[in-house]
């Protein structure tokens, strides 16, 4: 049960009320003060003080000072007038309860309004800060764009100046080339004149070597005129036709008779073997030789281009299928490409070709020409 404090003193003026409330051991930490227009409450356990004020006060500007076992209130009146008493007299409990509830509602509304005002002020501050930030960013962006535009204009001017410099340099070079050409033409004309003059004086000197009587004159006479100089020869073009050559060697290094005989034999051999096929139309004469194709395939095999080597051997076999080394080398290419069946087939063809050659030549068999194992590296012939 709280103890009601009735021992207090107060004084007033027309505008203010000074209330002194003695409380032993009072401090700010443990004291709860509640004040509205018509109600004042101090709670310092176990003490309790309530005052239902005589007239409304300005609770926002009123003050309280706690210290020295006393609380001193300075309450400012809303209307300048003298109060008869500090508290309203003749107030029952229901009236007191209504005043308390009303004061609490007023305090809550004020607190709510203060909170809303604070939130609104905070929003306004944020909005203002955002607008300031956006303005600063806009100024920075505009500044950057201006810098970019200035740099672009500067670069454009520099590029135009460089182009103008290049154009002037080209014009200067062109003028210099034209001047050099003019000087060369002048020099050529002067040299031609000198040559013509020398040839004319030489002809006149040769004519006057044997003078006849009074008709003899000095070769350097003043009667030499420019109209006596013969006109230059007319300009023309000479068309030269060269005899087509089958062999790339120069004519001075070749023997025509032997070449013609070789070409005749090659033509007869092609007719005998039916080698006039479409693939040979675009080939040179030396490329139609099976020996040349075999060497070409060997070079391609050495560079590990096995497909191209097979093509070279195929064409050589079509030109001359009596050469066993072509089948042997093609079998080696198929072996490198892991075409084992084709490698065995070409090895069998090479064997048959060797057998036929030996029978025709009536020579003893050379068994070492036939490979005993397909995985043995074949020396390219």
**CATH assignment at residue 293:** 1.25.40.10
> Does 298 score more than 90 pLDDT?
yes
pLDDT of residue 363: 30
d(Cα 91, Cα 127) in Å, to the nearest integer?
51
Q: Which of 62, 88, 114 is the last residue of a domain?
A: 88
Cβ neighbours for 11, distance < 8 A, ≥ 6 positions apart: 17, 18
250, part of any domain: no
pTM above 0.85, yes or no: no
> Which residues form the domain of 15?
3-88
Cα gap 152→171, rounded to integer Å? 28
Contact 310, 334 (CB under 8 A): yes
Is 327 part of any domain?
yes
pLDDT at 194 over 80: yes
Assigned domain for 268 exists: no
What is the count of structural domains for the chain?
Answer: 2
Position 374 scores a pLDDT of 41
- Which residue reads 């100024």 in tokens? 139
Position 319 scores a pLDDT of 82
Decide if 161 is inside a domain: no
User: What are the backbone dihedrals phi and psi of residue 27, each rounded to the nearest 5 degrees, phi first?
Assistant: -145, 160
CATH code for the domain in which residue 38 is found: 2.60.40.790
**Among 116-120, 147-151, 288-292, whose mean pLDDT is lowest?**
288-292
Query: What number is the average pLDDT over the span 74-92?
Result: 84
At 302-314, the pLDDT tens digits run: 999 999 999 999 9
Among 40, 56, 88, the domain boundary falls at 88
pLDDT level of residue 359 (50, 70, 90 thresholds):
very low
Q: Which of the listed residues 60, 88, 116 is the one where a domain comes to its end?
A: 88
179: in domain: no
Q: Given pLDDT bands bounded at 50, 70 and 90, which one contains residue 378?
A: very low
C-alpha 237, offset from chain centre: 56
Average pLDDT over residues 155-182: 92
Q: Is residue 69 part of a domain?
A: yes
Sign of the Cα torsion 249, 251, 253, 254 reads: positive
Give the chain's mean pLDDT.
79
Note whether residue 304 is domain-resident: yes
Read off the pLDDT band of 368 (50, 70, 90): very low
Q: Is residue 212, in this structure, part of any structural domain at all?
A: no
pLDDT number for residue 213: 45
Residue 220: predicted pLDDT: 45
Nearest CA to 249 out of 238, 236, 258 is that of: 258
Confidence of residue 329 (pLDDT cuts 50, 70, 90): very high
| Residue 188: pLDDT over 60 | yes
């Amino acid at each position: 049960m709280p103890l009601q404090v009735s021992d207090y003193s107060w004084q007033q003026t027309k505008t203010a009320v000074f209330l002194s409330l003695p409380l032993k051991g009072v401090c700010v930490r443990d004291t709860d003060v509640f004040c509205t227009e018509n109600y004042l409450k101090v709670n310092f356990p176990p003490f309790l003080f309530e005052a239902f004020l005589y007239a409304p006060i300005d609770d926002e500007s009123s003050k309280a000072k706690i210290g020295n076992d006393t609380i001193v209130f300075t309450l400012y009146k809303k209307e300048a007038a003298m109060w008869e008493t500090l508290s309203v007299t003749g107030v029952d409990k229901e009236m007191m309860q209504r005043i308390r509830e009303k004061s609490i509602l007023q305090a809550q509304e004020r607190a709510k309004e203060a909170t809303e005002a604070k939130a609104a002020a905070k929003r306004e501050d944020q909005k203002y800060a955002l607008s300031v930030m956006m303005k600063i960013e806009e100024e920075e962006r505009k500044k950057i764009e201006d810098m970019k535009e200035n740099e672009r204009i500067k670069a454009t001017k520099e590029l135009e100046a460089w182009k103008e410099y290049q154009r002037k340099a080209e014009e200067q070079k062109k003028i210099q080339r034209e001047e050099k050409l003019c000087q060369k033409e002048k020099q050529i004309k002067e040299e031609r004149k000198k040559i013509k003059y020398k040839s004319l004086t030489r002809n006149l000197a040769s004519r006057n070597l044997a003078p006849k009587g009074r008709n003899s004159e000095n070769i350097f006479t003043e009667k030499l005129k420019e109209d006596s100089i013969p006109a230059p020869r007319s300009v023309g073009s000479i068309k030269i036709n060269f005899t087509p050559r089958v062999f790339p060697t120069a004519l001075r290094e070749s023997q025509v008779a032997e070449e013609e005989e070789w070409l005749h034999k090659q033509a007869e051999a092609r007719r005998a073997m039916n080698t006039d096929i479409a693939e040979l139309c675009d080939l040179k004469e030396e490329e139609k030789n099976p020996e040349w194709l075999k060497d070409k395939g060997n070079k391609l095999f050495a560079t590990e281009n096995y497909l191209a080597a097979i093509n070279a051997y195929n064409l050589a076999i079509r030109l001359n299928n009596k050469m066993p080394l072509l089948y042997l080398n093609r079998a080696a290419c198929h072996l490198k490409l892991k075409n084992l069946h084709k490698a065995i087939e070409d090895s069998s063809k090479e064997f048959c070709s060797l057998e036929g050659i030996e029978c025709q030549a009536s020579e003893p068999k050379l068994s070492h020409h036939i490979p005993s194992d397909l995985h043995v590296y074949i020396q390219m012939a």
